[in-house]
Amino acid sequence: MSALILLPLLLPVVTAFLARKMPEKKLLIPLMVLELAIVIFCCTVSGTFTIPCLPGMPFMFRVDWISRIFSVLFASMFLMSGIFGFEYLHEKKGVYYLFYLLTMACMLGLCYAGNMLTFYMFYEGMTLLSFPLVLHEGTEASRRAAMKYLGYSLFGAGLVLFGFFLVSGSTSQAVFTEGGALTVPVTPALLIAALAMIIGFGGKAGMIPLHDWLPTAHPEAPAPASAVLSGVITKGGVLGILRTVYYLFGTKALEGTYVQHLVLALALLTVFSGSMLAYKEKVLKKRLAYSTVSQVSYVVFGLMLFNSLGFTGAILQAVFHSVAKVCLFLCAGAFICKTGKTRVEQLYGIGRSMPLPLFCFAITGLSLVGIPPFAGFVSKWYLAEGSLSAFPAIGWLGAAILLISALLTAGYLLSPVSKGFFPGEDFKYGSVHCGWCICVPLALLALAALVLGLFPARLITWLAGLSAGLM
Protein backbone atom coordinates (compact mmCIF):
# COMPACT_ATOMS: atom_id res chain seq x y z
CA MET A 1 0.00 0.00 0.00
CA SER A 2 2.83 2.45 0.76
CA ALA A 3 3.90 2.38 -2.92
CA LEU A 4 0.62 4.16 -3.73
CA ILE A 5 2.24 7.34 -2.38
CA LEU A 6 4.09 7.56 -5.70
CA LEU A 7 0.85 7.72 -7.71
CA PRO A 8 0.14 11.44 -7.08
CA LEU A 9 3.73 12.16 -8.19
CA LEU A 10 3.57 10.11 -11.39
CA LEU A 11 0.15 11.21 -12.70
CA PRO A 12 1.12 14.91 -13.16
CA VAL A 13 4.29 13.81 -14.99
CA VAL A 14 2.31 11.66 -17.44
CA THR A 15 -0.31 14.40 -17.80
CA ALA A 16 2.40 17.01 -18.41
CA PHE A 17 3.67 15.23 -21.51
CA LEU A 18 0.15 14.59 -22.74
CA ALA A 19 -0.42 18.37 -22.45
CA ARG A 20 2.22 18.93 -25.14
CA LYS A 21 0.01 17.07 -27.60
CA MET A 22 -3.49 18.02 -26.46
CA PRO A 23 -3.66 21.01 -24.05
CA GLU A 24 -7.45 21.16 -24.19
CA LYS A 25 -9.79 21.44 -21.25
CA LYS A 26 -11.43 18.12 -22.05
CA LEU A 27 -8.17 16.32 -21.22
CA LEU A 28 -6.34 18.34 -18.58
CA ILE A 29 -9.18 19.38 -16.29
CA PRO A 30 -10.46 15.81 -15.72
CA LEU A 31 -6.89 14.64 -15.11
CA MET A 32 -6.25 17.41 -12.58
CA VAL A 33 -9.55 16.58 -10.85
CA LEU A 34 -8.45 12.94 -10.79
CA GLU A 35 -5.13 14.04 -9.30
CA LEU A 36 -6.93 15.80 -6.44
CA ALA A 37 -9.07 12.68 -5.86
CA ILE A 38 -5.93 10.50 -5.70
CA VAL A 39 -4.26 12.91 -3.27
CA ILE A 40 -7.33 12.73 -1.03
CA PHE A 41 -7.26 8.93 -1.26
CA CYS A 42 -3.58 8.89 -0.30
CA CYS A 43 -4.53 10.53 2.99
CA THR A 44 -5.64 7.02 4.02
CA VAL A 45 -2.33 5.38 3.09
CA SER A 46 0.12 4.44 5.84
CA GLY A 47 3.65 3.09 5.88
CA THR A 48 6.95 4.17 4.37
CA PHE A 49 8.20 3.55 0.83
CA THR A 50 11.94 3.74 0.17
CA ILE A 51 14.08 3.70 -2.96
CA PRO A 52 17.83 3.06 -2.51
CA CYS A 53 19.99 6.06 -3.32
CA LEU A 54 23.03 7.10 -1.27
CA PRO A 55 24.52 4.55 1.14
CA GLY A 56 22.54 4.76 4.36
CA MET A 57 20.29 7.53 2.98
CA PRO A 58 17.55 6.37 0.58
CA PHE A 59 14.77 8.29 -1.06
CA MET A 60 11.94 7.99 1.45
CA PHE A 61 8.20 8.67 1.05
CA ARG A 62 5.50 8.55 3.70
CA VAL A 63 2.20 10.14 4.73
CA ASP A 64 1.67 12.00 8.01
CA TRP A 65 -0.68 14.78 9.08
CA ILE A 66 1.51 17.49 7.59
CA SER A 67 1.57 15.56 4.29
CA ARG A 68 -2.20 15.25 4.32
CA ILE A 69 -2.89 18.94 4.96
CA PHE A 70 -0.38 20.34 2.51
CA SER A 71 -0.91 17.80 -0.29
CA VAL A 72 -4.67 18.43 -0.42
CA LEU A 73 -4.03 22.19 -0.24
CA PHE A 74 -1.44 22.14 -3.04
CA ALA A 75 -3.48 19.90 -5.35
CA SER A 76 -6.59 22.07 -4.83
CA MET A 77 -4.76 25.32 -5.57
CA PHE A 78 -3.06 23.89 -8.67
CA LEU A 79 -6.47 22.72 -9.90
CA MET A 80 -8.04 26.17 -9.45
CA SER A 81 -5.15 28.01 -11.11
CA GLY A 82 -4.95 25.40 -13.86
CA ILE A 83 -8.62 25.82 -14.80
CA PHE A 84 -8.23 29.61 -14.80
CA GLY A 85 -5.27 29.36 -17.18
CA PHE A 86 -7.37 27.98 -20.04
CA GLU A 87 -9.13 31.32 -20.45
CA TYR A 88 -6.18 33.52 -19.47
CA LEU A 89 -3.47 31.99 -21.67
CA HIS A 90 -3.78 32.61 -25.39
CA GLU A 91 -0.75 30.76 -26.77
CA LYS A 92 1.99 28.32 -25.78
CA LYS A 93 -0.43 26.52 -23.48
CA GLY A 94 1.25 23.17 -24.05
CA VAL A 95 4.66 24.44 -22.92
CA TYR A 96 3.11 26.25 -19.96
CA TYR A 97 1.16 23.23 -18.72
CA LEU A 98 4.18 20.96 -19.20
CA PHE A 99 6.17 22.88 -16.58
CA TYR A 100 3.07 23.69 -14.54
CA LEU A 101 2.25 20.03 -13.96
CA LEU A 102 5.87 19.02 -13.39
CA THR A 103 6.07 21.75 -10.75
CA MET A 104 2.92 20.32 -9.20
CA ALA A 105 4.56 16.88 -9.01
CA CYS A 106 7.57 18.37 -7.20
CA MET A 107 5.33 20.23 -4.75
CA LEU A 108 3.56 16.99 -3.87
CA GLY A 109 6.95 15.33 -3.55
CA LEU A 110 7.79 17.88 -0.86
CA CYS A 111 4.66 16.85 1.03
CA TYR A 112 5.42 13.14 0.94
CA ALA A 113 9.19 13.37 1.53
CA GLY A 114 10.19 11.26 4.53
CA ASN A 115 13.75 12.49 4.95
CA MET A 116 15.82 15.57 4.15
CA LEU A 117 17.52 14.06 1.08
CA THR A 118 14.17 13.40 -0.60
CA PHE A 119 12.86 16.80 0.43
CA TYR A 120 15.92 18.61 -0.92
CA MET A 121 15.79 16.86 -4.30
CA PHE A 122 12.15 17.83 -4.82
CA TYR A 123 12.86 21.34 -3.50
CA GLU A 124 15.50 21.89 -6.19
CA GLY A 125 13.19 20.38 -8.80
CA MET A 126 10.43 22.78 -7.77
CA THR A 127 12.75 25.74 -8.36
CA LEU A 128 14.08 24.60 -11.73
CA LEU A 129 10.68 23.59 -13.10
CA SER A 130 8.85 26.74 -11.92
CA PHE A 131 11.56 28.94 -13.49
CA PRO A 132 9.98 28.62 -17.00
CA LEU A 133 6.61 29.74 -15.57
CA VAL A 134 8.14 33.12 -14.69
CA LEU A 135 9.88 33.16 -18.08
CA HIS A 136 6.71 32.26 -19.99
CA GLU A 137 5.97 35.65 -21.58
CA GLY A 138 9.45 35.75 -23.15
CA THR A 139 9.96 39.51 -22.71
CA GLU A 140 13.19 41.09 -21.53
CA ALA A 141 11.52 42.01 -18.24
CA SER A 142 10.33 38.43 -17.71
CA ARG A 143 13.83 37.10 -18.45
CA ARG A 144 15.34 39.41 -15.84
CA ALA A 145 12.65 38.45 -13.34
CA ALA A 146 13.15 34.73 -13.99
CA MET A 147 16.92 34.99 -13.53
CA LYS A 148 16.42 36.91 -10.29
CA TYR A 149 14.00 34.26 -9.06
CA LEU A 150 16.46 31.52 -9.98
CA GLY A 151 19.41 33.30 -8.36
CA TYR A 152 17.68 33.93 -5.05
CA SER A 153 16.24 30.41 -5.01
CA LEU A 154 19.57 28.71 -5.70
CA PHE A 155 21.35 30.83 -3.10
CA GLY A 156 18.72 29.86 -0.52
CA ALA A 157 18.99 26.21 -1.57
CA GLY A 158 22.77 26.48 -1.14
CA LEU A 159 22.27 27.59 2.46
CA VAL A 160 19.96 24.63 3.02
CA LEU A 161 22.51 22.24 1.53
CA PHE A 162 25.28 23.72 3.72
CA GLY A 163 23.14 23.14 6.82
CA PHE A 164 22.23 19.65 5.61
CA PHE A 165 25.92 18.76 5.34
CA LEU A 166 26.56 19.95 8.89
CA VAL A 167 23.62 18.06 10.37
CA SER A 168 23.80 14.84 8.32
CA GLY A 169 26.24 13.15 10.73
CA SER A 170 24.03 13.92 13.72
CA THR A 171 20.89 12.08 12.58
CA SER A 172 20.02 8.64 11.31
CA GLN A 173 19.39 9.08 7.57
CA ALA A 174 18.04 12.59 8.40
CA VAL A 175 14.58 10.98 8.71
CA PHE A 176 11.79 13.34 9.66
CA THR A 177 10.79 12.38 13.19
CA GLU A 178 8.15 14.02 15.36
CA GLY A 179 9.93 16.05 18.02
CA GLY A 180 13.28 15.97 16.17
CA ALA A 181 15.71 13.43 14.76
CA LEU A 182 18.96 14.63 16.37
CA THR A 183 20.88 11.85 18.10
CA VAL A 184 23.59 14.06 19.66
CA PRO A 185 23.52 17.16 21.91
CA VAL A 186 23.15 20.51 20.19
CA THR A 187 26.48 22.15 19.37
CA PRO A 188 27.34 25.62 18.01
CA ALA A 189 27.86 24.03 14.58
CA LEU A 190 24.37 22.53 14.66
CA LEU A 191 22.86 25.89 15.60
CA ILE A 192 24.62 27.42 12.59
CA ALA A 193 23.22 24.61 10.46
CA ALA A 194 19.70 25.26 11.74
CA LEU A 195 19.95 28.99 11.07
CA ALA A 196 21.33 28.44 7.57
CA MET A 197 18.54 26.03 6.68
CA ILE A 198 15.79 28.24 8.10
CA ILE A 199 17.03 31.35 6.28
CA GLY A 200 17.54 29.32 3.09
CA PHE A 201 14.00 27.97 3.17
CA GLY A 202 12.81 31.41 4.29
CA GLY A 203 14.02 32.81 0.97
CA LYS A 204 11.41 30.76 -0.86
CA ALA A 205 8.84 31.86 1.73
CA GLY A 206 9.68 35.53 1.06
CA MET A 207 11.36 36.28 4.39
CA ILE A 208 13.97 39.03 4.66
CA PRO A 209 16.80 39.05 3.54
CA LEU A 210 15.96 36.78 0.54
CA HIS A 211 12.54 38.24 -0.27
CA ASP A 212 13.23 40.53 -3.21
CA TRP A 213 12.44 37.99 -5.93
CA LEU A 214 8.70 38.07 -5.20
CA PRO A 215 7.85 41.66 -6.25
CA THR A 216 10.01 41.19 -9.35
CA ALA A 217 8.80 37.77 -10.50
CA HIS A 218 5.06 38.06 -9.78
CA PRO A 219 4.21 40.98 -12.09
CA GLU A 220 6.07 39.39 -15.03
CA ALA A 221 4.66 35.87 -14.73
CA PRO A 222 1.21 35.04 -16.15
CA ALA A 223 -1.49 35.48 -13.49
CA PRO A 224 -2.12 31.72 -12.99
CA ALA A 225 1.63 31.25 -12.45
CA SER A 226 1.74 34.23 -10.08
CA ALA A 227 -1.10 32.66 -8.10
CA VAL A 228 0.86 29.41 -7.77
CA LEU A 229 4.12 31.24 -6.92
CA SER A 230 2.42 33.19 -4.16
CA GLY A 231 -0.13 30.74 -2.85
CA VAL A 232 1.73 27.43 -3.22
CA ILE A 233 5.45 27.69 -3.98
CA THR A 234 6.10 30.03 -1.06
CA LYS A 235 4.56 27.28 1.10
CA GLY A 236 7.37 25.02 -0.09
CA GLY A 237 9.68 27.25 1.95
CA VAL A 238 7.25 27.13 4.88
CA LEU A 239 7.16 23.33 4.68
CA GLY A 240 10.97 23.30 4.66
CA ILE A 241 11.13 25.40 7.83
CA LEU A 242 8.47 23.24 9.47
CA ARG A 243 10.31 19.99 8.69
CA THR A 244 13.66 21.47 9.75
CA VAL A 245 12.47 22.86 13.08
CA TYR A 246 9.89 20.29 14.20
CA TYR A 247 11.03 17.08 12.51
CA LEU A 248 14.82 17.39 12.19
CA PHE A 249 16.19 19.53 15.04
CA GLY A 250 13.20 19.60 17.40
CA THR A 251 11.89 22.60 19.27
CA LYS A 252 13.67 21.62 22.49
CA ALA A 253 17.04 21.91 20.75
CA LEU A 254 16.29 25.43 19.42
CA GLU A 255 14.07 26.97 22.11
CA GLY A 256 15.69 29.95 23.81
CA THR A 257 18.66 30.03 21.41
CA TYR A 258 19.73 32.91 19.21
CA VAL A 259 18.31 30.96 16.25
CA GLN A 260 14.76 31.25 17.57
CA HIS A 261 15.10 34.91 18.54
CA LEU A 262 16.80 35.98 15.30
CA VAL A 263 14.25 34.25 13.06
CA LEU A 264 11.37 35.70 15.09
CA ALA A 265 12.87 39.18 14.65
CA LEU A 266 13.34 38.66 10.90
CA ALA A 267 9.78 37.37 10.56
CA LEU A 268 8.29 40.40 12.33
CA LEU A 269 10.48 42.76 10.32
CA THR A 270 9.24 41.09 7.14
CA VAL A 271 5.60 41.27 8.26
CA PHE A 272 5.83 45.02 8.86
CA SER A 273 8.07 45.91 5.89
CA GLY A 274 6.03 43.88 3.40
CA SER A 275 2.81 45.58 4.48
CA MET A 276 4.36 49.05 4.23
CA LEU A 277 5.74 48.38 0.74
CA ALA A 278 2.41 46.90 -0.39
CA TYR A 279 0.56 49.96 0.90
CA LYS A 280 2.73 52.27 -1.24
CA GLU A 281 2.74 50.12 -4.40
CA LYS A 282 0.50 51.14 -7.33
CA VAL A 283 0.88 48.11 -9.64
CA LEU A 284 -1.75 45.59 -8.50
CA LYS A 285 0.20 42.36 -8.95
CA LYS A 286 3.30 43.89 -7.39
CA ARG A 287 1.15 45.08 -4.46
CA LEU A 288 -0.11 41.54 -4.01
CA ALA A 289 3.48 40.26 -4.17
CA TYR A 290 4.59 42.55 -1.34
CA SER A 291 1.49 41.39 0.53
CA THR A 292 2.75 37.81 0.19
CA VAL A 293 6.13 38.87 1.61
CA SER A 294 4.26 40.07 4.69
CA GLN A 295 1.59 37.41 5.05
CA VAL A 296 3.77 34.31 4.66
CA SER A 297 6.09 35.59 7.40
CA TYR A 298 3.08 35.39 9.73
CA VAL A 299 3.48 31.63 9.26
CA VAL A 300 7.22 31.69 10.00
CA PHE A 301 6.55 33.77 13.11
CA GLY A 302 3.98 31.27 14.39
CA LEU A 303 6.22 28.28 13.74
CA MET A 304 9.10 29.83 15.69
CA LEU A 305 7.00 30.55 18.78
CA PHE A 306 7.34 26.87 19.74
CA ASN A 307 3.95 26.54 21.41
CA SER A 308 0.67 24.90 20.42
CA LEU A 309 -1.19 28.16 19.82
CA GLY A 310 1.53 29.53 17.54
CA PHE A 311 1.85 26.26 15.63
CA THR A 312 -1.91 26.02 15.10
CA GLY A 313 -2.08 29.65 13.97
CA ALA A 314 0.85 29.14 11.59
CA ILE A 315 -0.64 26.13 9.78
CA LEU A 316 -4.06 27.81 9.63
CA GLN A 317 -2.42 30.92 8.18
CA ALA A 318 -0.58 28.82 5.58
CA VAL A 319 -3.84 27.23 4.44
CA PHE A 320 -5.97 30.38 4.58
CA HIS A 321 -3.33 32.58 2.94
CA SER A 322 -2.98 30.10 0.10
CA VAL A 323 -6.72 30.15 -0.59
CA ALA A 324 -6.96 33.95 -0.36
CA LYS A 325 -3.84 34.82 -2.32
CA VAL A 326 -4.53 32.41 -5.17
CA CYS A 327 -7.96 34.01 -5.49
CA LEU A 328 -6.57 37.56 -5.35
CA PHE A 329 -3.99 36.89 -8.06
CA LEU A 330 -6.59 35.20 -10.24
CA CYS A 331 -8.88 38.23 -9.78
CA ALA A 332 -6.00 40.48 -10.84
CA GLY A 333 -5.50 38.16 -13.82
CA ALA A 334 -9.16 38.47 -14.75
CA PHE A 335 -8.85 42.28 -14.78
CA ILE A 336 -5.72 42.06 -16.95
CA CYS A 337 -7.16 39.43 -19.30
CA LYS A 338 -10.46 41.25 -19.94
CA THR A 339 -9.47 44.93 -19.68
CA GLY A 340 -5.68 45.11 -19.82
CA LYS A 341 -5.62 47.16 -16.60
CA THR A 342 -2.63 46.51 -14.32
CA ARG A 343 -2.49 49.52 -11.99
CA VAL A 344 -4.67 50.16 -8.97
CA GLU A 345 -5.86 53.59 -10.14
CA GLN A 346 -7.06 52.03 -13.42
CA LEU A 347 -9.55 49.84 -11.56
CA TYR A 348 -11.91 52.77 -10.99
CA GLY A 349 -15.40 51.39 -11.59
CA ILE A 350 -14.22 47.87 -12.47
CA GLY A 351 -16.84 46.41 -10.13
CA ARG A 352 -19.60 47.71 -12.37
CA SER A 353 -18.32 45.86 -15.44
CA MET A 354 -16.78 42.82 -13.67
CA PRO A 355 -18.80 42.41 -10.45
CA LEU A 356 -17.98 38.76 -9.69
CA PRO A 357 -14.16 39.07 -9.84
CA LEU A 358 -14.17 42.20 -7.69
CA PHE A 359 -16.64 40.66 -5.23
CA CYS A 360 -14.37 37.62 -4.86
CA PHE A 361 -11.40 40.01 -4.48
CA ALA A 362 -13.29 41.74 -1.66
CA ILE A 363 -14.16 38.48 0.14
CA THR A 364 -10.63 37.10 0.09
CA GLY A 365 -9.20 40.53 0.85
CA LEU A 366 -11.31 40.68 4.01
CA SER A 367 -10.02 37.22 4.92
CA LEU A 368 -6.42 38.34 4.45
CA VAL A 369 -7.04 41.37 6.67
CA GLY A 370 -8.44 39.11 9.38
CA ILE A 371 -12.06 40.26 9.51
CA PRO A 372 -14.57 37.78 11.00
CA PRO A 373 -16.26 35.58 9.91
CA PHE A 374 -13.64 34.97 7.21
CA ALA A 375 -10.82 32.46 7.58
CA GLY A 376 -7.94 34.86 8.17
CA PHE A 377 -9.43 36.05 11.46
CA VAL A 378 -9.03 32.59 13.01
CA SER A 379 -5.36 32.18 12.11
CA LYS A 380 -4.39 35.70 13.21
CA TRP A 381 -6.21 35.23 16.52
CA TYR A 382 -4.19 32.10 17.27
CA LEU A 383 -0.94 33.80 16.23
CA ALA A 384 -1.56 36.75 18.56
CA GLU A 385 -2.49 34.39 21.40
CA GLY A 386 0.61 32.32 20.70
CA SER A 387 2.84 35.39 20.87
CA LEU A 388 1.41 36.48 24.21
CA SER A 389 1.71 32.95 25.58
CA ALA A 390 5.31 32.36 24.44
CA PHE A 391 6.70 35.65 25.70
CA PRO A 392 4.50 37.08 28.49
CA ALA A 393 6.76 40.12 28.93
CA ILE A 394 7.19 41.22 25.30
CA GLY A 395 4.66 39.08 23.46
CA TRP A 396 2.47 42.16 23.08
CA LEU A 397 5.06 43.52 20.62
CA GLY A 398 4.51 40.66 18.20
CA ALA A 399 0.73 40.95 18.55
CA ALA A 400 0.97 44.72 17.97
CA ILE A 401 3.00 44.29 14.76
CA LEU A 402 0.50 41.73 13.50
CA LEU A 403 -2.33 44.21 14.21
CA ILE A 404 -0.55 47.11 12.49
CA SER A 405 0.10 44.88 9.48
CA ALA A 406 -3.59 43.94 9.39
CA LEU A 407 -4.57 47.63 9.31
CA LEU A 408 -2.14 48.27 6.45
CA THR A 409 -3.53 45.22 4.66
CA ALA A 410 -7.01 46.70 4.92
CA GLY A 411 -5.69 49.91 3.39
CA TYR A 412 -4.04 48.38 0.35
CA LEU A 413 -6.63 45.66 -0.41
CA LEU A 414 -9.92 47.41 0.32
CA SER A 415 -9.21 50.72 -1.43
CA PRO A 416 -9.44 49.10 -4.92
CA VAL A 417 -12.71 47.49 -3.82
CA SER A 418 -14.30 50.79 -2.73
CA LYS A 419 -13.19 52.59 -5.89
CA GLY A 420 -14.19 49.65 -8.05
CA PHE A 421 -17.74 49.38 -6.72
CA PHE A 422 -18.44 53.06 -6.01
CA PRO A 423 -16.97 55.18 -8.84
CA GLY A 424 -19.74 57.81 -8.65
CA GLU A 425 -23.15 58.31 -10.21
CA ASP A 426 -21.83 59.75 -13.49
CA PHE A 427 -19.48 56.84 -14.19
CA LYS A 428 -20.16 55.08 -17.50
CA TYR A 429 -19.37 51.41 -17.79
CA GLY A 430 -19.90 48.46 -20.09
CA SER A 431 -20.36 44.81 -19.24
CA VAL A 432 -17.38 42.46 -19.58
CA HIS A 433 -18.01 38.75 -20.10
CA CYS A 434 -16.00 36.25 -18.09
CA GLY A 435 -16.19 32.56 -19.00
CA TRP A 436 -16.67 29.71 -16.56
CA CYS A 437 -12.92 29.01 -16.45
CA ILE A 438 -12.55 32.36 -14.69
CA CYS A 439 -15.77 32.50 -12.70
CA VAL A 440 -15.83 28.99 -11.20
CA PRO A 441 -12.35 29.03 -9.57
CA LEU A 442 -12.90 32.54 -8.19
CA ALA A 443 -16.29 31.66 -6.73
CA LEU A 444 -15.04 28.41 -5.17
CA LEU A 445 -12.00 30.09 -3.59
CA ALA A 446 -14.07 32.96 -2.18
CA LEU A 447 -16.58 30.44 -0.81
CA ALA A 448 -13.72 28.46 0.78
CA ALA A 449 -12.46 31.61 2.53
CA LEU A 450 -15.90 31.99 4.13
CA VAL A 451 -16.57 28.32 4.94
CA LEU A 452 -13.13 27.77 6.48
CA GLY A 453 -13.70 30.82 8.67
CA LEU A 454 -17.13 29.64 9.81
CA PHE A 455 -16.19 25.99 10.43
CA PRO A 456 -12.50 25.73 11.41
CA ALA A 457 -13.08 23.52 14.47
CA ARG A 458 -12.07 20.15 12.98
CA LEU A 459 -8.87 21.50 11.47
CA ILE A 460 -8.00 23.22 14.76
CA THR A 461 -8.60 19.96 16.66
CA TRP A 462 -6.30 18.05 14.29
CA LEU A 463 -3.58 20.68 14.62
CA ALA A 464 -3.85 20.77 18.43
CA GLY A 465 -3.35 17.01 18.55
CA LEU A 466 -0.46 17.20 16.10
CA SER A 467 1.32 19.98 17.99
CA ALA A 468 1.14 17.95 21.22
CA GLY A 469 3.46 15.36 19.69
CA LEU A 470 5.88 17.91 18.25
CA MET A 471 6.67 20.13 21.24
Q: Residue range 186-205: average pLDDT? A: 93
- Give residue 172's pLDDT band: very low, low, confident or very high (50, 70, 90): low
Say if CB 74 and CB 235 are below 8 A apart. Answer: yes
Half-sphere exposure of 2 (CA within 13 A, CB side): 14
For the four alpha carbons of 150, 108, 296 and 361, in that order, the dihedral sign comes to: positive
| Tens digits of residue pLDDT in 429-458 | 777 888 899 999 999 999 999 999 999 998
- Is the model's pLDDT at 342 over the cut of 90? no
- Per residue, what are the HEC states of 168-184? HHHECCCECCCCCCECC
Pairwise pLDDT comparison (27 vs 310), residue with the higher score = 310
The pLDDT of 292-319, averaged and rounded, is: 94
How confident is the model at residue 219, as a pLDDT? 85
pLDDT confidence band for 184 (50 / 70 / 90):
confident
d(CA 112, CA 136): 28
More confident residue, 268 or 21: 268
β-strand pairing of 57-62 with 48-54: antiparallel
Which of 200-209, 336-345, 388-397 tops mean pLDDT? 200-209
Residues linked to residue 115 through DSSP beta bridges, in sequence order: 175
- d(Cα 388, Cα 398) in Å, to the nearest integer? 8
Mean pLDDT calculated for residue range 194-223 = 92
pLDDT tens track for 22-31: 656 667 888 8
pLDDT band for position 357 (cuts 50, 70, 90): very high
Residues 6+ apart with CB under 8 A from 242: 66, 303
Q: Is the pLDDT of residue 393 over 90?
A: no
Compute the mean pLDDT over every residue in the chain, rounded to the nearest whole number.
Answer: 90
- Counting residues of the chain whose pLDDT is more than 90, the rounded percentage is 65
Per-residue pLDDT tens digits for 104-127 = 999 999 999 999 999 999 999 999
Tell me the C-alpha to C-alpha distance, in Å, between residue 236 and each of 49, 58, 61, 295, 340. Answer: 22, 21, 16, 15, 31
